[in-house]
Each structure stands twice: as C-alpha cells, then as structure tokens.
Amino acid sequence: MATATVVIPTLNARDLLRDALASLERQTVRPEVVVVDNASTDGTAEAVRSDFPWARLVVNDENLGFGKAVNLGAAEAVSDVLVLVNNDVVCEPDFVERICEPLADEGVGMAAGVLLQADAPTRIDSAGIEVDPTLRSFDYLWNRPVGELAAARDPLGPCGGAAAYRLSAFREVGGFDEAFFAYWEDVEIALRLRLAGWECRLAPAARALHRHGQTLGASSPAARRLESFGRGYVLAKYRVRRPLRVALLDWPALLVHAGARRELDPIRERRRGTREGRRNAIHGGVTGVATVPYRESLRRHLAAAGLRARGELPAHFYDER
C-alpha cells in the first residue's frame, strides 16, 4: 500500500486544527502529518507541540498563503502520496486509506476526496473540481445528496481541501504555482497535471466534514480579492480566448462589488492577475477539459445571483474558487 503524507496549512485556527488532527490520529492507515503554520498568533504552534507531538510542525515567520505553505510541507514528505486537508475538515476514519486507493493505477496522478457540509452532512460540499469552457470552476456535486456519489464521474481534479497527489507527479510539475496566495491554485495545478498526461479519479468513499470558509469567510472582501486575482491569472496563463463569454460570467459580479459595495479592489486584482498570468503563459493552452457546458455555467451564476439578491444563499455556498 502507498505511504501518505498529509499536509495541513493553517492560520489562527487552533481549535479547528485540533479537531482535524484528532481525526487523522484515528485513521485506519496512519499517515505522516505535516502542519505548516502561517505565523498564527493564537497558540497554534504550542497546541500542536503539546497535544500532537507526532505531527511534524513547520512554523513560518509570516503568512505565506496556501500554495507556498503546501509546497513547504511537500518538501518535507518522504512518502508516495501527498494528501491535502484543510484545517476546518474532520476526516472519517478511513479517509486517508480511501483517497490513496485510486493512485494504485500508474496513470492516475490525482484523487479527489469528498467534502460533506458540516451543517448538512447528507449533502456534498465538494467532490472535486469541474470547469466550463472559460475555465470557470465549480465544486463538483455541490449541495447534491450523498447518494449521487454512486453514479458520479471523475472530476477535472481534486479540491485542495480534500486532495491526493502522486508526490512524484506533484514535484514533476513544480508543485503549486506560488503566484497565488490562496484560491485557484488547486484548479491551476489540475490543469498543469492534465497537460502532463496525468488523470484524476474520484474517491467517493474518502469523506470528511467541512466547515466552509472558516479562515477568510466564504464571501469576505479578502476572498473576493483573491478570487478575482486567481480568475484573471488562470484566464491569462492558459490563454482563454472567449472574451464575450468570460464577460457575461464575470463582470456583472465585479460591477456589483464596485457599485453597491464601493469595492474596487476585486477589479484591480483581476487586472493584476491578468498581468501576472500573461508573464507565465503556457503556450498552447488547454482544450477539451470542460465538464460543464457554458449554458449550464451561465445558468448556475444566474441562479446564485438570484439567491444572493433574495438573501437566500446558504451560508456554506461557495461557487467561486
């Protein structure tokens, strides 16, 4: 059986992290665990050292963001498989065992675990990532009943909150792109791994409860800035040439932020992401990876906008990565 290293980036989430680590201590297959603390001030490092001495601890002097923290943790790994778990996730006892199983196939470089909504555990929060032709991403099977996993297909790649990567493949493509501070890095590395010839498999029995958006908040100003940068960066890096379709999907929300909320930062970050993406553009781009038709993507955005306008959007909703 493959050996696994679980990496958990964290920031000021001591109590959530305790629950995550306690769930990893109960695994049927005990993994190596690396906690990467992004300069927490709530006693996180002290709690890990005293309560979970078996976990390896990397303490940063500043908040490096998600991708850089994962790359630091991955550099510590000596296993076959790199497993990523968010600090607001509680894993079922066989989570690590089940998420590693698809990687027994030599052509598989990624496996997607299943995050369940903590406040509605019969509903799925994410079963991986899917994208439309503009590379706009969605959480696969979001808010669908758990029973639908029985007939589910494989996603484009795993969500970074419950992911497994063949460690050699992760290192082969250079790990997470450190242009991202947070959000979209899981989408981008899935695209890069696909271009390198690696496949993704859904691991439907690898399940964990997810208390979504606990670090930044699922719709906080910080999350909106990071989302805008990431979207602009991915569009430019992968040379998406569908300006009208992109505008119909993206710009209504950006203009609402600017008009109703007086938030210009998302637009500034979108432009900055575009500039950075162009500097790192991949020649040839990606084709044939879309799993969501454009009309369905547009329908989902319109439906979410309607719920948001009526104040009916669920607290755990997270359609923007």
Query: For the whole model, what pTM was predicted?
Result: 0.93
Name the one residue in this structure whose structure tokens are 């710009």.
Answer: 251
pLDDT at 267: 92
With bands split at pLDDT 50, 70 and 90, how would you rate the model's confidence at 260?
low
With bands split at pLDDT 50, 70 and 90, how would you rate the model's confidence at 212?
low
The tens digit of pLDDT for each residue in 53-93 reads 999 999 999 999 999 999 999 999 999 999 999 999 999 99
Q: What percent of the chain shows pLDDT beyond 70?
A: 92
Dihedral through CA 132, CA 137, CA 140, CA 141, nearest 10? -80
Among candidate residues 89, 72, 130, the one with its CA nearest the CA of residue 321:
130
- Non-local (6+) Cβ contacts of 191 within 8 A are 135, 156, 157, 234, 238, 286, 289
pLDDT at 94: 98
**CA dihedral sign of residues 105, 108, 109, 112:** negative
Lowest mean per-residue pLDDT among 22-26, 143-147, 240-244: 240-244
Query: What distance, in Å, lies between the first and last C-alpha atoms of the chain?
Result: 33
Amino acid at 35: V
Residue 215 clears pLDDT 60, i.e. is over it: no
3-state secondary structure of 194: helix
Q: Compute the distance between CA of residue 131 and CA of residue 297 in angstroms, rounded to an integer.
A: 9
Q: Compute the distance between CA of residue 94 and CA of residue 83 in angstroms, rounded to an integer.
A: 13
The answer to whether 159 touches 186, Cβ cutoff 8 Å, is yes
Q: What is the mean pLDDT of residues 187-214?
A: 93
pLDDT at 315: 47
Q: What is the mean pLDDT of residues 237-257?
A: 89
Among candidate residues 160, 104, 19, 153, the one with its CA nearest the CA of residue 141:
153
Radius of gyration of the chain (CA): 19
What structural domains and CATH numbers belong to the chain? 4-210 (3.90.550.10), 221-309 (no CATH)
**CA dihedral sign of residues 9, 13, 19, 25:** positive
The tens digit of pLDDT for each residue in 143-185 reads 999 999 999 999 999 999 999 999 999 999 999 999 999 999 9
Q: Compute the distance between CA of residue 14 and CA of residue 44 in angstroms, rounded to an integer.
A: 5
pLDDT at 26: 97
Q: Where are the alpha helices (DSSP H) in the chain?
A: 14-25, 44-51, 66-76, 95-100, 167-172, 185-195, 221-237, 243-259, 265-279, 294-309
With bands split at pLDDT 50, 70 and 90, how would you rate the model's confidence at 31?
very high
Residue 47 clears pLDDT 70, i.e. is over it: yes
Q: What percent of the chain shows pLDDT beyond 90?
A: 81
